[in-house]
Amino acid sequence: MKVNYAFKGTADIKEIKESLKAFGGRCAKIVDGTLEYQVKDENEKAAYEAMKEKGYIE
């Protein structure tokens, strides 16, 4: 599942990709102020919460 969230901060994309691996995430990139990544459907909510907790998304 491909998701997009408003990106905040100045995190390194490599760090974000590493964080997403635990959720089956891949193809993370920042496009026009939006963090875009693919994640397994069943892990979407957990990945969202993790990204928000780390301060990558709003």
pLDDT tens track for 1-58: 999 999 987 788 999 999 999 999 888 999 999 999 999 999 999 999 999 999 999 8
DSSP letter for 21, please: G
What is the distance between the alpha carbons of residues 58 and 48, in angstroms, rounded to a whole number? 10
* Torsion, Cα of 44, 38, 50, 18 (10° steps): 150
What is the distance between the alpha carbons of residues 40 and 47, in angstroms, rounded to a whole number? 9
What is the distance between the alpha carbons of residues 48 and 34, in angstroms, rounded to a whole number? 13
pTM over 0.75: yes
Of 11, 37, 7, 5, which is closest to residue 24 (Cα–Cα)?
37
